[in-house]
A and B are shown apart, each in its own frame.
Chain A
Amino acid sequence: MAQKKHTLNPDKWVQQHADYLFNYTIGRINNHDLAKDLVQETFFAGLKAMDNFQGLASERTWLISILKRKIIDYYRKINSIKGKAEVKMNFYSDGEREGEWIEERAPANWNNETDKNIENKELNLVLEKCIGNLPEKYEMVFRMKTIQQFETEEICKELDITSSNLWVIIHRARTQLRKCMEDNWFKN
C-alpha cells in the first residue's frame, strides 16, 4: 500500500504556516522586516516549485526546507560583504607580536562590576546596543549561540560552517562586545 500523500494548499499557507516560519526565522535573524521578507520569499519560491512537490514530506517540512536554504543564502550574503563585515582587531595579526593584545584594546579595570549593576535594566539596553553594533555576520552567529542558545553542531549545519570557524566568529564577537561594554558601562 502506498502511503497517504501530502498535498499543498497555498490558499492556507499564511493561516497555517506564517507564524511558524516567522518564529523560526526570527530566532536566527533578529530583524522583523528581514524575517518577514524571508517568509514571503519562501512562500513565493514554494509557489514556483509546487510541481516538484512529491508529497513525501508534510507541507510545513517542505516549506521549512525552502526557508533553510534562504537563511543560508542570507548568511553567505552577509559573509561576503568585505570590509564592512569585519570586527575591530584586538590582537596583532602579524609580526613579532602576533597574537598579543593591542594595548588600547586590552582589558582595563572595571569600576562597577558588582552584582547590583548586573541586575540593572539599563545594562540590557547598553548590551543590546553593543550587540547591534556588531557586523551582521558576527551578530547572527553570536545571537544564535549565546542568546538563542543553539547547539554548536546545529549552527554549523544550518549555516554550513565548521566548528573552528564558529569559535573564531564567537571569539571576535565577544572581544568586541567586551570592549563595547567596558567603554559604555563598566568603566563609567
Chain B
Amino acid sequence: MKLNCDQATTICDKSQYGEVSLLERIKLSLHLFLCKKCGKYTKQNVILTTCYEKQAQLEKMKKDCLSATEKQCLEKDIKEKL
C-alpha cells in the first residue's frame, strides 16, 4: 500500500492525463499526506501541465511541410528508381 516518492510521482504524472485508477488515487493521497517534496511536485506539476497544454495549442497552429523544392527532389529520385 505504501508508495515511495518515485512511484508516487509516477502516479501524479499519470493523473495529469486523467488516467489513474481509484486505488492509485488513494495511494497517492496517502503518500502526499506525509511527503512535502511530492506535495510540491504535485503543485508544480499542475502548473507545468498548463504550460504543456499551451505548447500543444501552439504546435497545432504551426504547420511544418515539405517545400516545393524538396518535393521536386523527391519526385526526381523516384523517377530515377522506376
Residues of A within 8 A of B (CB): 10-11, 13-15, 18-19, 22-23, 26, 32, 35-36, 39-40, 43-44, 47, 90-91, 98-101, 106-107, 109-110, 113, 118, 123-124, 127-128, 131, 145-149, 152, 167-168, 170-171, 174-175, 177-178, 181-182, 186
Q: Could you say which residues of chain B place their CB within 8 Å of the CB of A168?
A: 10
A128 with B55: in contact, given A14-B74, A36-B66, A40-B77 (CB under 8 Å)? Answer: yes
* 18 A–B pairs (Cβ distance < 8 Å), ordered by A: A14-B78, A22-B66, A23-B65, A35-B64, A39-B74, A98-B4, A99-B4, A109-B40, A110-B47, A113-B44, A118-B47, A118-B54, A124-B54, A124-B55, A148-B56, A152-B19, A175-B13, A178-B44
CB of A178 within 8 A of CB of B45, answer: yes
How many of B's residues come within 8 Å of A, CB to CB? 38
The answer to whether A178 touches B55 (Cβ under 8 A) is no
Interface majority SS (helix, strand, loop, mixed), chain B: helix
Which residues of B have CB within 8 Å of A145?
Answer: 17
Inter-chain contacts of B5 with A (CB < 8 A): 91, 99-101
Q: A10-B82, A14-B78, A167-B10 are in contact. Are A178 and B66 (CB under 8 A)?
A: no
15 more A-B residue pairs beyond the given contacts A101-B5, A145-B17, with a C-beta to C-beta distance below 8 A:
A11-B78, A13-B78, A14-B75, A15-B75, A23-B65, A40-B77, A47-B81, A90-B6, A99-B7, A100-B4, A109-B40, A110-B47, A118-B51, A147-B55, A181-B51
